Structure 1
Amino acid sequence: MVAGNTAEASPQFYRTLDQRINAPGDPATVLLLGDYIDECSDKILAYKKGSGNDAGFAGLEPLLQLIRTNPETKFYLLPGDRDWDKSGREGLTCVKAIEDYFKDQDFDNLRWPLANGCPGPEFVDLAPTTRLMLINTQWWNHPHDKPVPADANCDFSDPSISLAEILSGIDENQDLNTIIAGHYPPKSQGRYGGEYPARDHFAPPIIGSFRLSFRQNIGTPEELTNRRFDKLGSALRDYNSQYLGLMWLGAQDLSQQFIKFGNNHIVNAGAAGEGKWAAKHKPAIHVSRVPGFTELHYAADGTVNYRYVLAEDGTVARQELIYHAPCDRSQDTLPTNPAFPPCNLDSARMRTFLEPLVRDTIVRPAGPQYGRSKFGKYFLGKHYRDIWTTPVAFPILNLDDDPRNFTPIREGGGRQTTSLRLQAADGKHYTFRSVDKDPAGTFNYQVRETLIGDAVRDQTTTGHPFGGLIIDPLLNELDILHAAPELFVLSSGETLGSYNPTFGGMLGTLEISPRGDKKKANIPGTFGADKVLKSFELFRERYDDQEVLINHEEFLRARIFDLLVGDWSRHEDNWKWALFKQDDVENIRPIPRDRDNAFSQMDGFFPWLADRRWAIPNLEDFDYDQPDIRSLTFQARHMDRLLLSPLSRPEFLRQAQSIQAALTDEVLAQAVQQNPAPAAAQEEENERYRKLQEGILSKLKTRRDDLEEYADAYYELHAKTVDIVGTNDEEHYLLAATEDGRLTVTTTDVKGKSAGKILYQRTFLPRETKEVRIYGLADDDVFETSGPVGKAIRVRIIGGEGDDEYQASDDEPRAPKVLIYDKTIAAPAELERGFRSVRNWRPELYYYDRTAFAYNETTPIGSIGFNSRNGASLGAGFKHTRRNFTHRKFSSRYKAYVEGSTLGNATLEASAEFGQFIQYIDLVFATRVGRPDFYNFFFGIGNDTRIDPEVERNEFSLIALDHFSFEGGLRRGFADNSTFNLMLGYQNNKTTDRDGTILDRPERFYGDGDFVFGYLQPSFVFDLRDHPVFPSKGVYLEASHKQAFGRKNAVDFGVTRVAGEIHFSARRFPISLSLRGGYARSSGRAPFYELPSLGQNNGLRGFQRNRFVGDGYLYHETEFRMPVALIRSRVIPFAVGIRAFYDRGQLLMDDEKNEPWRTAYGGGFYVIPLSKSFTFSVLAGFSEEESGLIQFGVGTNF
């Protein structure tokens, strides 16, 4: 039984729920989805666990009585946004108070699974075939204080880890019906989901449209569209597209909704009280505002039913059969439960998918599908194709007669690898992992089944299929813990059962799997460890306890080995950690795993392009030359910064030398020989196979000899800026600096029997390190300085929670060089000399975020274009982005771009941006030089200009300008894509090449010749559209005024421009109606190229660009768009639609009366490949002057 928003529920609601709980039938489980209170009062905030001051919770008594009187029924309670103070500052305090209050009731049948405000997921097995996944959706949505990884209060509170656990919980339980519950569902057809009745646009008119557009496309914290929740919402929608049998539960909208969601379903059970409007169109199956609750019945035979029970009298208002049992032949029109095997598909029948392999070996290639022609290899790469496609003799693993008596547990793996978890009779756990991969699994579902997906799958050949067999003996020589892989073809058979269709005949590796769910000391395969941790568990232990001692040197040795073998995929999920207890100390050793990307070959045009640092930053080729260490270590950069922090350059070199000494030529040769020998009939195939193997050995020897250089570069990569991270216990930090700039940081324990024990010690040199950041985390720490700390090396101390002390151990006068980030410091006077308290509005500066660090980036840009006036053009340039501690997004961005055309013109553009120069305000500069620039289609000023086809052939209306401009000013961004700018600038324009143009006339136009002026230009963009390129809903408003001034030519003019758009889209079918209007007016005497103009790109799409130039304009545009086909092409899936437009515009002239209105109309089509961002459209415009003016463009062309 499911309900949410019980703050709205009446007493009758609880009475009816009680009756349904006690009705005859299967035992019930009650899931409540949050919003138990209407607002977070002071009385609730003041509640202390066990204090009994429960005056703020009187409204919860009916719920408590329900729980109290049904002790055999389990109640699971999740928090909602109102329980988090409606995303207010006291949200975490409020939800913890509610949690404490419920726990203080001491009910054995009440569960609050997501304790301490943690994000989850948490899992509950409701039945052998049904699992409940619980997510704290408000954690994602909350803008203020909430659990972060360094708090160590949650199993995990890192967004990427939480998403990985959600995906893993779905992927590894496809044989179960998975119910995924949170207060916010991934989709809703109510107001919080972005759907509104038409009347809301007129409440009040115009303002109502702006309000709706904001809520639909930007979103308040209540809306599913807001960007904080969207990271989770987008991921859940993507997961929904990949899996079957999922049931999503939410309750954010105050309504009951049962929605078909792709191949799955959503229930928004938010109508515990009087409900609100929700759209009833498809894919909704049932929508109601009447108070009630949901019942989901999961039967043992696979039948799943939905029921909506009215709170007033217990009537079942709606019942729907979702899945029928696999053996129920009377329901063939409905899908069977996808978590259940087909009817009577027993083990014997499953074996018919593949006959069991009765031989000891089988000869076959690892990947025969990867053969390519010379042409294909040029673009896609040779890689290790000859190893993938050469037949090899593989041993066969048959579970039916294997002495280890394996039992398949479940299918697993990530988005690239397919795996099967096995348990042996002696309790050991194993994993069988496919050798072949599917890297396209990381792509959006729309791309996976296209040629793009095929091309990405083809890049599996960049990896060596048997690379793990080479790695195993090398790690043995280095004494690095790891699971040794065995290569097999898995035979079908009775034991494999329902997994036969997927795994029967699959080539893969079998490895003992270290398990971390309970103690497995002295069990082979877990290395005798007391516990095996995942990486996020290691980080939590590391933050929480001083007695966790990580073997940093062994981790460094493993990482330098990664440099040797070119393994660029060493992210956190590719490590486990063996924990060995010794007295009160927990010693941690790394266990690297998953060697799919060792020895990666990036030859071929497209792989070489992808290997550039600015393209895919984590790819790196395995070759003789020194690699790009940054790319090679990119995926593990955050983990490296935490775990390598205590180590200095000599230790890096020492570990490299130890690897060089251990991996002799003989050891490397023997390792390479671990690969299976080719068994091809053609000697030519065998020779290519052997050459690739010999190439690996030769490269390994060269890279081993150069390993000290690699290690030195690796050290320098991390030495410039260093993080020192404490724990949530008390510590003493001593920062001692010498006159030559050396800084030694020593961390010691300050209490208990380990008081005085050194936890961290390292000396930093100013030629290597520019900045040290010390994070004290929680509890009461002491930070003490000695000598000129902060003089040569910048020091930041982020104290964290607790009453920290900052002391200078000597009396030397010094300037405040050590920067303190501590919100508990009331005034700078509280600090001793040498410290400076930093007050900053950015909350992220005051806590430790392991993933906050980001490299500076340089990206090339280029363009190729053509138009009939300028000819062919070619442009090139770069963008450079810098980041620092206080500016995580960017501290500065620079762009330079040069373009030339066959017409002989050249353009230089450059810009600089300085992010958050004054709080949220950026400082921006831009310059442009054109020699010349072109002002296309100038036919004169006024309404009476004419086009002469004869002279137009000679580019009569093409105006050339030598242009120089420079401007600088302030920019304030808001509401995602909206901005306000205030710019001060300078322009110098000079007309050139006047002969044969409209300027070569007795009549002179103001601005002809050399014209110089300065200007002040405020501008405003308010963008509330659902998409910036091809919108279908929302509003858009832009306004600007350019006021020019200058002594030369007595310049004094201004130009004001205003334009707005509104887009409407039908709910049931994506038909769009778009309206745009614009107004402009100039004042004073403006040069002709600054005057307002109407034409193809502005207001009148059936006329040439800049067709009418004058003192101002007024126009309105109307456009209708309708999709006509969705083409699921194997090349690229794309949508095709039609467009029709009708435009009216009027040129305004101060000295003319009765300015005519001109009309343009036309239509065309658009194509949307993959995403609206790539929309391409073609329009044909008609008017009194044009009969089919063609316009190509991106997006709407508005």
Structure 2
Amino acid sequence: MKSRWLVVALAAAATAPDLHGQSGSTTGLGPDTVTTTPSGRYPANGLHRLLLGDLNRDLWAVPVSAPVLDLRRFAGGLSPLRRGGGLQTQSLRLRGQDGQTYNFRSIDKDATRGLDPMLQNSLPARVLQDQIGALFPLSAMVVAPLLEAAGVLHPNPRLVVLPDDPLLGEFREEFGGLLGWLEVRPDEGPDGEPGFAGSTRIVGSPRLLERLEESPLEQVDAQAYLRARLLDVFVGDWDRHPDQWRWASFERGDTVSWYPIPRDRDWALSRLDGALVYVAGRYFSHYRGFGPEYEPAFNATFTGRALDRRILTRLDRADFLRTAEDLQHALSDDVIADAVSRLPSTYQAEVGEGLAAAFTRRRDRLLSFAGEYYELLAGWVDLYGTDEEELALVEHTGGGRTRVRLFHLIRNEPAPDPYLDRTFLESETQEIRIFLHGDEDRVEIRGTNPSDIVVRAIGGGGDDEFLDESTGTSVFHDHRGDNEFTGALGSAFDEDDWEEPPDQFSATHQSKARDWGSWTLGYPVFSYNSDEGFYLGAGFRRDTYGFRHYPYERRLTGRAVFGPAVGRARGSLGFDFPVHGRAVRGFFSGYASGREVVRFFGFGNDTQITGEDDFYQFTRDEVRLELELTGTPSDHVVLRAGPTFHFVDHDDVVEQRLIGQIQPYGLDRFAQFGLGAGIAWDRRDHPLVPRSGWLLEAEGHVTPSLADVETTYGSGSAFARWYTHGDGRLEPLFGLRLGAEQVWGRAPYHSAAYLGGPGSSLGVREHRFAGDRVVQAGATGSIFLTPFYLFLPGKLGLHAISETGRVWLDGESPGGWHASYGGGLWVSLVNDHTLVSFTIARSEDRTGLYFGLGWPL
């Protein structure tokens, strides 16, 4: 409670330099008032609203009145300095004669400003701009009194119109007449004087993290930050990445405490609905709107995870619940009513009653949300040391408890009191990561009591000492310095170098890549082919993240579909998992089909097509299982090996087909086990749309005489691809492919060496020729024709392809080489790596149409 009143006092002090503190009046806001609407560009018809949502569109058209700012009188006179940052907001920084710096931020946003210039006039850009209609235009007006009541440091924004005034200079055309928020910029005082709210220093998040790393004497007030984060969630503001904060320091003797100053309330009180918005929200988990009920803690807090996992991990469940309960008292009915009453009467008439009811409901459920929020952060915990010499003492104390303390070392002896002390419960926490930084550090893990919590200690640049005397699971990571490791039975040591990858979910790239929890995505599946008609079903992907596994530790995928016309189903399952650290991974894949359409034209290089297509076509049930281990001895080389299982069962109708007349080995119910191995050496510049480089692949497979296999047989194959390109307007590209496959021993027909189809020879029917050996070659060329714009910017080009191949059977290959040739168009959208090719290819007995991602060769 003491911390709360300190924060309240600081927040009260913050009103001195802000707009409300300007002599307690509106001096300088000008005598003129303008009545306008925040924006008129978000109207939509019924279909538009169905797809992209009602959002807060109607509020953008509600008129509001705002005073015109007097640049000559306000703050003794304002002079524009420069444009502010931000990806979407028009902002202007101004300097007052009172010594303060002020920020002006437009209410309406330009969602295209952060996009690639090629995309700024595209359909996606228009959709993004339309989504700005989800914002509550005057949210800052409501949030400010709630921050005040909660005791969170903040500047108070004031709704103004910038004048069309020559004093704006070069900024007049862009900012003159613009409606927006004006607020003091939290900053340090001149010449060592107290700054914003009496603070000593004001910094942004990157500098804050640097200072926290430099000394244990500087710490963030975690409870003050928790109050601010709970208030974020209370108002539905999910856009809380590190750049949305500034930090004020206050000296307390030898220590420095940092307090958060949240800024930019654009997404508070937003409304998100509509069919496409719902779909987008399944992938962008944080993209959720404000309402009477809370979103899950994962969604509501996701963009704040970088700072949450750095600051809040020193707090336990009791701290979370105590802070939430305190906030519930602070956000009384009167406070809520006052916040809503700050809105203009036109807004109150539209949303006032519903907004107050939503706030009341969310306040009453804040305690429950705080518990969920705590549990989200408690599962995988990051604790951080500093660049000073330190001792990390971990004790498994029994009863499922693990205590972690961090001490500053003074002349190699721990300080009397730790600067971090927290006890973790194995019922809540799976893993603790202790990040040590510079200088010489010690880690001691003690306790004979069993614990299910994995403890990781990550050393820094100094010569560190790691000692494990516990019976738990401990992992020490350090590849720098001259380190000393002393382990127990459950200890492991990792001295591999590790470069932290970027966070693929972070727009500002200020978060580290996700290494905790899991994420599941479900999606519908739809397919069609002329043989079987439509297949409908669903699929899923579940990624599980782990420490120093990127982009995931484990991935489980699956899909199942049903064909109404044929009354059969098929499905697949895949599992990608680590086997030995990051060096060796396992891949399991399974496929089962109740109706697999197959064509067989007989054995040999000169088989003829004399009947209708149905004569060569049949169906079979099929099951394929593979378990593969992969290793990466270098960045470009992948080794793989593992067992396989294959089962087929043919329909009775095969008796009426060519395959039924030939009766090849493997036609009946047939099961086989095998073992395969391979290597890939990939030096292409892109795996799907390469323009230079090469790929070498080789693999072998042996199938022993088990199950239905009469005699052991084997196979081997090798393929090479090479690409090069030229400069100039046409951007010419040339590619070659060479490949061969050999089968040894008596193999079932479905394990023969085949020629024909995508990946083998376009234009030639799939599996057109079968034998025990195949050799094939191909070449492709491509040129760029013209850029185009059709909803998205793109490129259009031409490509040509020529391929040839032949098979051998028992050393014979009558009929010569089977050539195919063709060409078509390719289209790339946005960038060269999103390329789709359309190809018409001709062979001796057919012409085929193909399309797919990437080059056709």
**TM-score, structure 1 length as denominator?**
0.64
Deviation at 1:729, TM superposition (A): 2.3
Counterpart of 1:1095 (choices 725, 744, 756) is 756
Q: Residues of 2 paired with 1:1143 and 1:754: CA distance?
A: 73
The corresponding residue for 2:824 is 1164
The corresponding residue for 1:1125 is 786
The corresponding residue for 1:924 is 587
Kindly indicate whether residue 342 of structure 2 is the aligned counterpart of residue 674 of structure 1. Answer: yes
Kindly indicate whether residue 306 of structure 2 is the aligned counterpart of residue 638 of structure 1. Answer: yes
The verdict on how the C-alpha distance between 1:939 and 1:734 changes in structure 2, with shifts beyond 3 A counting, is: closer
Superposed CA offset, 1:336-383 (max 9, x none): xxxxxxxxxxxxxxxxxxxxx997122221110011111111111111
Kindly indicate whether residue 322 of structure 2 is the aligned counterpart of residue 654 of structure 1. Answer: yes
Deviation at 1:866, TM superposition (A): 1.5
The corresponding residue for 1:910 is 573
Q: Residues of 2 paired with 1:411 and 1:886: CA distance?
A: 39
The corresponding residue for 2:374 is 715
Superposed CA offset, 1:651-683 (max 9, x none): 1111111111111122112212212333xxxxx
Partner SS for 2:166: coil
Kindly indicate whether residue 27 of structure 2 is the aligned counterpart of residue 372 of structure 1. Answer: no
The corresponding residue for 1:458 is 130
Q: Residues of 1 paired with 2:269 and 2:176: CA distance?
A: 29
C-alpha contact 1:519 1:531 (8 A) present in aligned 2: no
Kindly indicate whether residue 445 of structure 2 is the aligned counterpart of residue 772 of structure 1. Answer: no
The verdict on how the C-alpha distance between 1:606 and 1:916 changes in structure 2, with shifts beyond 3 A counting, is: same
C-alpha contact 1:397 1:488 (8 A) present in aligned 2: yes
The corresponding residue for 1:841 is 496
The corresponding residue for 2:116 is 444
The aligned runs of 1:376-415 (5 Å cut-off) are 376-400=48-72, 402=74, 404-415=76-87
The aligned runs of 1:848-867 (5 Å cut-off) are 851=512, 853-855=514-516, 856-867=518-529
Partner SS for 1:956: helix
Q: Residues of 2 paired with 1:707 and 1:883: CA distance?
A: 29
The verdict on how the C-alpha distance between 1:1092 and 1:444 changes in structure 2, with shifts beyond 3 A counting, is: farther
The verdict on how the C-alpha distance between 1:974 and 1:590 changes in structure 2, with shifts beyond 3 A counting, is: same
Letter in 1 for 2:402: L
Counterpart of 1:899 (choices 549, 554, 561) is 561
Q: Report which stretch shifted further, 863-872 or 368-377.
A: 863-872
The verdict on how the C-alpha distance between 1:946 and 1:498 changes in structure 2, with shifts beyond 3 A counting, is: same
Counterpart of 2:230 (choices 542, 555, 560) is 560
Partner SS for 1:891: strand
Counterpart of 2:221 (choices 551, 566, 589) is 551
Letter in 2 for 1:911: G
CA RMSD of aligned residues (A): 2.8
Kindly indicate whether residue 262 of structure 2 is the aligned counterpart of residue 592 of structure 1. Answer: yes
Partner SS for 2:108: coil
The corresponding residue for 1:24 is none
Q: Residues of 1 paired with 2:713 and 2:692: CA distance?
A: 37
What are the ranges of 5 or more consecutive residues in structure 2 without an aligned counterpart? 1-28, 501-509
Partner SS for 1:1050: coil
The corresponding residue for 2:596 is 933
Q: Residues of 1 paired with 2:812 and 2:444: CA distance?
A: 79
Deviation at 1:974, TM superposition (A): 6.4
The aligned runs of 1:612-631 (5 Å cut-off) are 612=282, 615-631=283-299
The aligned runs of 1:223-262 (5 Å cut-off) are none
The aligned runs of 1:127-142 (5 Å cut-off) are none
Q: Residues of 2 paired with 1:1093 and 1:517: CA distance?
A: 78
Kindly indicate whether residue 680 of structure 2 is the aligned counterpart of residue 1021 of structure 1. Answer: yes
C-alpha contact 1:1030 1:1196 (8 A) present in aligned 2: yes
Deviation at 1:545, TM superposition (A): 1.5
The verdict on how the C-alpha distance between 1:734 and 1:939 changes in structure 2, with shifts beyond 3 A counting, is: closer
C-alpha contact 1:432 1:509 (8 A) present in aligned 2: yes
Q: Residues of 2 paired with 1:1003 and 1:837: CA distance?
A: 60
Deviation at 1:739, TM superposition (A): 2.9
Kindly indicate whether residue 92 of structure 2 is the aligned counterpart of residue 420 of structure 1. Answer: yes
Deviation at 1:835, TM superposition (A): 8.2
The verdict on how the C-alpha distance between 1:601 and 1:1051 changes in structure 2, with shifts beyond 3 A counting, is: farther
The verdict on how the C-alpha distance between 1:1139 and 1:749 changes in structure 2, with shifts beyond 3 A counting, is: closer
Superposed CA offset, 1:616-670 (max 9, x none): 1332221222311112111121211121122111111111111111111221122
The aligned runs of 1:701-740 (5 Å cut-off) are 701-740=360-399
C-alpha contact 1:728 1:778 (8 A) present in aligned 2: yes
Partner SS for 2:140: helix
The verdict on how the C-alpha distance between 1:1105 and 1:843 changes in structure 2, with shifts beyond 3 A counting, is: closer
Superposed CA offset, 1:739-764 (max 9, x none): 32323333344549994244122222
C-alpha contact 1:620 1:628 (8 A) present in aligned 2: no
The corresponding residue for 1:991 is 650
Superposed CA offset, 1:187-210 (max 9, x none): xxxxxxxxxxxxxxxxxxxxxxxx
Kindly indicate whether residue 733 of structure 2 is the aligned counterpart of residue 1065 of structure 1. Answer: no
Q: Residues of 2 paired with 1:432 and 1:631: CA distance?
A: 30
C-alpha contact 2:805 2:818 (8 A) present in aligned 1: yes
Q: Identity rate of aligned residues, in percent?
A: 29
Q: Residues of 2 paired with 1:1176 and 1:430: CA distance?
A: 50
The verdict on how the C-alpha distance between 1:416 and 1:996 changes in structure 2, with shifts beyond 3 A counting, is: farther
Q: Residues of 2 paired with 1:671 and 1:360: CA distance?
A: 25
Kindly indicate whether residue 638 of structure 2 is the aligned counterpart of residue 1004 of structure 1. Answer: no
Partner SS for 1:645: helix
Q: Residues of 2 paired with 1:819 and 1:659: CA distance?
A: 39
Letter in 2 for 1:1110: G
Q: Residues of 2 paired with 1:413 and 1:826: CA distance?
A: 44
The verdict on how the C-alpha distance between 1:739 and 1:782 changes in structure 2, with shifts beyond 3 A counting, is: same
The verdict on how the C-alpha distance between 1:1177 and 1:638 changes in structure 2, with shifts beyond 3 A counting, is: same
Q: Residues of 2 paired with 1:825 and 1:836: CA distance?
A: 19
Letter in 2 for 1:960: T
The verdict on how the C-alpha distance between 1:993 and 1:367 changes in structure 2, with shifts beyond 3 A counting, is: farther
Q: Residues of 2 paired with 1:929 and 1:916: CA distance?
A: 25
Deviation at 1:1058, TM superposition (A): 2.3
Partner SS for 2:131: helix
Decide which structure has greater strand share.
2
Letter in 1 for 2:622: H
The corresponding residue for 2:770 is 1109
Deviation at 1:458, TM superposition (A): 1.0
Partner SS for 1:443: coil
The verdict on how the C-alpha distance between 1:946 and 1:1139 changes in structure 2, with shifts beyond 3 A counting, is: same
The verdict on how the C-alpha distance between 1:1192 and 1:747 changes in structure 2, with shifts beyond 3 A counting, is: closer
Q: Report which stretch shifted further, 1059-1068 or 478-487.
A: 1059-1068
Deviation at 1:1062, TM superposition (A): 2.0
Report the count of equivalent residues. 814
Letter in 1 for 2:641: L
Deviation at 1:728, TM superposition (A): 2.2
Superposed CA offset, 1:500-549 (max 9, x none): 111112111111011359666345xx112111011111111111122213
The corresponding residue for 1:700 is 359
The corresponding residue for 1:791 is 451
The corresponding residue for 1:469 is 141
What are the ranges of 5 or more consecutive residues in structure 1 without an aligned counterpart? 1-356, 679-685
Q: Residues of 2 paired with 1:836 and 1:516: CA distance?
A: 48
Counterpart of 1:503 (choices 175, 178, 196) is 175
C-alpha contact 1:393 1:677 (8 A) present in aligned 2: no
The verdict on how the C-alpha distance between 1:545 and 1:519 changes in structure 2, with shifts beyond 3 A counting, is: farther
Deviation at 1:583, TM superposition (A): 3.4
Partner SS for 1:1123: strand
Letter in 1 for 2:777: H
**TM-score, structure 2 length as denominator?**
0.89
Kindly indicate whether residue 718 of structure 2 is the aligned counterpart of residue 1050 of structure 1. Answer: no
Partner SS for 1:369: coil
Q: Residues of 2 paired with 1:1073 and 1:419: CA distance?
A: 49
Kindly indicate whether residue 718 of structure 2 is the aligned counterpart of residue 1038 of structure 1. Answer: no
Q: Residues of 2 paired with 1:1051 and 1:463: CA distance?
A: 70
C-alpha contact 1:1081 1:1113 (8 A) present in aligned 2: yes
Partner SS for 2:313: coil
Q: Residues of 2 paired with 1:1012 and 1:1168: CA distance?
A: 44
Letter in 2 for 1:917: H
